[in-house]
Amino acid sequence: MDKEISIPAYWKIPYQEEMIGKITKIRGKELQFSQKFFYPGGGGQLSDRGTIIYADKEFPIIDVYKDEEGIWHKIKSKEKIEFEEGKEVLLKLDWERRYSFMKAHSSQHLISHILEEFYQCKTLKANFEEGKIDIETSIKLSLEQVLKAIEHANDIINSGTKIESIVVNQEKYKREFKQRTRGKTSDEKTVRLIQLGEDEGFDLVCCGGIHVKNLSEINGIILENLKAYTLKLLVDQYGLTFANQQRKMMIVLEELTQKKDEKLVEMIQNKLNNFDILQSGNVKLLKMIFSNLQHWKITINRLSCIFFELPEIDRQAILSAAKEMIEGFLVVIVGKNEILYILSSDESIPANEVIKKLLEITGNKGGGNKAFAQISIQKVENPLKLVEDVIKSF
Ligand SMILES: [Zn+2]
């Protein structure tokens, strides 16, 4: 390692959960420490969280970011606390969160490498959350292609491949690494590289993120979703939990559709024209959807939102199923007869407030309460997009 390069602790000792440091700078409730222990975020990886122990009291760190002055740690405390420069603090990482980011980030390097090798498909953007990876690809991949890539990735993960973190100066980078770098090259004075595999490895990327030492720590990658150019993957226990939930849903669905079929047969046999039976099937399906909302959620302004187009579903069916709705969601449904329904189990965004704004924009008729409201969307172009814009304004 080149002597003149100072390597931050988050690169040097990524598995250490605690460290003693000193306060070196104070700006209100934001502190700098002598140790670069918390990752300030970057390269698609979110910043670390954790706590500090100062004067025998524990304070959560709610944000870590870097500016031209250094790495700032935002401290949460209700009371006014006098931090003092030079004083010792114990820095404690939210290790579970960090470790899940490390696994997700390393998984992304592996998958991006395979997509390029198999399909000459580049990764345009990558984001990580706990056990989660979103990859935006340069070409539209088929489900078969993606599954083949994931299968290959899981083989490599199972074989126990090492990951190396390399830090060099620009001269050495140009001389020894630049020509075999995948993706963007670096002009920085100090270049940090992540290599998959031993010796010269099989993949080399300029990356400031934090990675696991061995790909086997990931345990496995599972496909969560594939939409046009976006690949959503889950790793480790997040993947396994998801796979089991999906299986459970499939089993419930199989049971439901079977029951529905039996009733349909019965209906035809008895020459009944009883639409209540079909209706009750819909309610059952809706109830299942409402109790598993997390599978469809998208996040807008930190709100968990779900959009459905269910042209066969009417108000009564939605109201019956709404009892099953879990806390903290906003559900938007375009239902029968061009009526848009909004259901909210999130206090911060009442359904009638959203409808109120839609009424102002469209001039159509509607109304409701905090939990349930509706509006006619006749002559409204792309109503779901309109609702999305309204939600963004909250
Ligand atoms: Zn990276």
* CA 134–ligand 1 middle distance (angstroms): 13
* CA 290–ligand 1 middle distance (angstroms): 36
Q: What one-letter code names the amino acid at 298?
A: I
pLDDT of residue 274: 40
- Name the token pair of 339: 């009526």
* CA 35–ligand 1 middle distance (angstroms): 22
* CA 43–ligand 1 middle distance (angstroms): 6
Alpha helices in the chain (DSSP H): 9-12, 95-119, 143-158, 170-172, 236-269, 275-290, 315-322, 351-362, 383-392
* CA 47–ligand 1 middle distance (angstroms): 14
Residue 345 three-state SS: coil
Q: Residue 260: what are its φ and ψ, rounded to 5°?
A: -60, -40
- Distance CA(358)–CA(257), nearest Å, equals 36
Q: Can you give the length of the chain in residues?
A: 394
Q: How many angstroms separate the first and last alpha carbons of the chain?
A: 51
* CA 129–ligand 1 middle distance (angstroms): 13
* CA 197–ligand 1 middle distance (angstroms): 15
Q: Are the CB atoms for 149 and 171 separated by under 8 Å?
A: no
Determine the Cα angle at 263 with ends 334 and 276, to 5°.
Answer: 45
* CA 241–ligand 1 middle distance (angstroms): 25
* CA 123–ligand 1 middle distance (angstroms): 11
- pLDDT tens track of the chain, all 394 residues? 445 678 999 999 999 999 999 999 999 899 999 999 999 998 889 999 999 999 899 999 999 999 999 999 999 988 778 899 999 999 999 999 999 999 999 999 999 999 999 999 999 999 988 899 999 999 999 999 999 999 999 999 999 999 999 999 999 999 999 999 999 999 999 999 999 999 899 999 999 999 999 999 999 999 999 998 999 999 999 999 998 888 887 777 767 665 555 554 454 445 434 444 444 556 767 777 777 777 778 888 888 998 888 777 788 888 888 887 888 899 999 888 899 999 999 999 999 999 999 999 998 899 999 999 999 998 888 898 999 999 998 8
* CA 44–ligand 1 middle distance (angstroms): 7
Q: Hey, do 99-238 and 274-392 end up sharing a CATH topology, with the first three levels equal?
A: no
* CA 110–ligand 1 middle distance (angstroms): 10
Question: Whose CA is closest to 315, among 341, 343, 293, 352?
Answer: 341
Q: Are the CB atoms for 162 and 216 separated by under 8 Å?
A: no
Q: Residue 295: what are its φ and ψ, rounded to 5°?
A: -75, -20
pLDDT of residue 267: 46
pLDDT of residue 248: 82
* CA 2–ligand 1 middle distance (angstroms): 22
* CA 32–ligand 1 middle distance (angstroms): 25
* CA 224–ligand 1 middle distance (angstroms): 21
CATH value of 9-93 in 3.40.50.2300, 3.40.710.10, 3.40.1010.10, 2.40.30.130: 2.40.30.130
* CA 281–ligand 1 middle distance (angstroms): 47
* CA 284–ligand 1 middle distance (angstroms): 44
* CA 90–ligand 1 middle distance (angstroms): 28
CA atoms lying within 13 Å on the CB side of residue 342 = 32
Q: Where are the domains of the chain?
A: 9-93, 99-238, 274-392
* CA 266–ligand 1 middle distance (angstroms): 58
* CA 27–ligand 1 middle distance (angstroms): 31
- Name the token pair of 102: 């490390």
Question: Whose CA is closest to 59, among 68, 49, 69, 45?
Answer: 49
Question: Whose CA is closest to 387, among 361, 348, 364, 365?
Answer: 361
Q: What one-letter code names the amino acid at 317?
A: A
* CA 194–ligand 1 middle distance (angstroms): 7
Domain formed by 274-392, architecture: Roll (3.10)
* CA 109–ligand 1 middle distance (angstroms): 6
* CA 61–ligand 1 middle distance (angstroms): 24
Q: Say which CATH topology domain 99-238 has.
A: Threonyl-tRNA Synthetase; Chain A, domain 2 (3.30.980)
* CA 102–ligand 1 middle distance (angstroms): 10
Distances (CA, A) of 194 to 120, 157, 223, 354: 20, 16, 24, 46
* CA 202–ligand 1 middle distance (angstroms): 15
